[in-house]
Amino acid sequence: MLDQLQNKLSIKRLFPKTPRLYFRPADSVCTCAGKLTVHKTHTRTIACLTLGEFIAHLTQLICVDCGQIVKDKTLDQVVSPKSQFGFDVIVYVGEALFIHHQSDAQIQGLLQEKNITISLREIAYLGKKFILYLALCHQACSEPIKQHMQSNGGYILHLDGTCEGNSPHLMSTLDGMTHIVLDNIKVPSEHSLPLIPFLKRVQSTYGDPIAAVHDMSAAIITAVESVFPETKDFICHFHFLRDIGKDLFGFEYNNIRRYLSTFKTRALLRKMTRDLKCYIVQDKALNSALKNYLKSDELEKSDNQLPAPILVYLLVSWVLEAKTESRGYGFPFDRPHLYFCLNLQEAYPMLCALKCQLPPAAPQLLMAAISRALNDQALTQSIRLMQEKIIVFDQLRDAMRIALPCAHQGLKDEGDQSIKTIEARVRAFRYSQNIEQLASRHMAYQKMVKQIDKYWEKLFADPIEIQTKDATLSIQPQRTNNIMETFFRDIKHDGRKKAGTSSLSKALKSMLANTPLVKNLAIPKYREIILAGKDNLAERFADIDIRLVRDALKQEEEEAGKYPKGMAKVFRISHLPKKLSI
């Protein structure tokens, strides 16, 4: 019933023909007391959410005495000059793209229902305009944002970057206390040269931070020390542990992944599960037995009398889904390829025993191929070495009390225990007899010890006392820089959800640098600040000078372009070397 009512009240039904609205100045006399007469009339086709598409008939008046041209400014609050789509459409498209992660085609269909015809290319263009409008609002409100952070005792500068494939690095700065994204930049690579002017821009806008938190990137450390020499500088514990783990057993892990790919082990097991599933589904007795087992509350009972095809199906599926042991931290905290190998080693003896119990019509187990992988000496060696190194890594992980295997917060894990307690535990680990012996015999452990010694002061500095408008707080900044990891992981997840692809190299190349500012819209105080007294973003965007938006669009197109404007004419010149010769 409600759907029928909404259909009857749809814009298409209310306005079967394109409506025409008239806009004419109300005054008949100029400010100089001269008479106003019609100067020019013209029409524009405009689309907004409330009316859909309509024709605006505009009349301009001119003073017969002073020649002043008078226009009606009502339409300027709906749509920018020379634009077809209203501010509310820009906001609708921007939020659909960057907050709700809808595809261009989905947005096109939704706008069509609102009697707005728009091309996919125009949707992408409006998405860019949304980001640029938001960035201009952000810049215009930099002083209120600064005052808000100062009321919290200042800001903690979290700096990190992300890239994928050969995409540029997207670098972002974020306040660790309010979680407001402050500024962004795209750079060809993570190098200190472009980062220094970027941080100087942040400094000029928001002042010096009370602390800086980042990973172990040499470029970031150099840039921070150059721009903020008096600021307390911290290495994030999460990033520190991540880099230690990558250096410690990244080589073995890459070997495991490479060997699994060479033996095509996963592909073989996936084919087994597909074939077994089809075989079980087609057999009513087997299908019923599997369903009854899965409904049971005692799945781990050893006396479950299950037929061999079901047991094989369960075991092979369990091996394939070894990644469920991960906790959402990423490598080296999560090691899905190693989990896969360990599960396969554990399941292998039982699979061998079940092979001869399978009915002749059932899909057969390719145990020879699995055996070749498990018995490969290079793979076995890599697994053994990695397991040995993981024991040491997890000891350090436990000492630092962050991203623990038993925790379930994923990247939201901020660790626990006081910094002095953690420092004492890491010191005991660092100078233990076992670590000293390992470091004296193996280069990987020696490098780990050097990393701990090198960054000790940045890892275990005293807490910072800050004065807010309400109280004095003691904070330990370096425990929480994984908010940047969460931040970038969310951005990539959102991009993959919208694009429907796992690779974001192309998306990151085309993404505007200030796209991360969209994340701020989820912060009520930030939204209140940038609205500057307006009721919504559409009204706020109407206050922005369209010339600033167009200049920003032009600059972005020039920076994103492969060649400077006009180069196409050069490409059409025949025998260019001869014509350019001196």
> What sign does the dihedral 89-91-94-95 (CA atoms) show?
negative
What pTM was computed for the model?
0.77
Dist. CA 169–CA 361, nearest whole Å = 54
Dist. CA 481–CA 501, nearest whole Å = 28
For residue 411, what is the DSSP state?
Answer: G
What's the token pair of residue 229?
Answer: 């020499």
Considering all CA atoms of the chain, what is the largest pairwise distance in Å, rounded to the nearest integer?
Answer: 105
What's the token pair of residue 243?
Answer: 């880099």
Dist. CA 517–CA 521, nearest whole Å = 8
Q: What is the pLDDT along the chain (582 residues), one digit of tens a residue?
A: 445 444 444 555 555 678 899 999 988 888 888 898 999 998 999 999 988 999 999 999 999 889 899 888 888 899 998 899 999 999 999 999 888 888 889 999 999 999 999 999 999 899 999 999 999 999 999 999 999 999 988 999 998 887 766 667 788 898 988 989 999 988 877 676 789 999 999 999 999 999 998 888 888 999 999 999 999 998 888 889 999 999 999 999 999 999 999 999 999 999 999 999 999 999 999 999 888 888 877 776 655 678 999 999 999 999 999 887 787 788 999 999 999 999 999 999 999 999 889 999 998 888 888 999 999 999 999 999 999 999 999 999 999 888 777 765 544 444 556 788 889 999 999 999 999 999 999 999 999 999 999 999 888 877 788 877 778 877 766 565 455 556 566 666 655 555 555 444 455 566 788 888 998 999 999 999 999 999 999 999 999 998 999 888 888 777 665 556 666 677 677 767 766 765
What DSSP string describes 100-119?
A: S---HHHHHHHHHHTT----
What are the phi and psi torsion angles at 544 (to 5°)? -80, 135
What are the phi and psi torsion angles at 205 (to 5°)? -85, -45
3-state class (DSSP) for residue 575: coil
Residue boundaries of the structural domains of the chain = 246-386
Q: Write down the pLDDT at residue 239.
A: 86
Dist. CA 149–CA 157, nearest whole Å = 11
CB-based contacts of 193, cutoff 8 Å, min separation 6: none
Dist. CA 249–CA 372, nearest whole Å = 24
For residue 512, what is the DSSP state?
Answer: -
Q: Write down the pLDDT at residue 445.
A: 96
**Whether 219 contacts 199, CB under 8 Å:** no
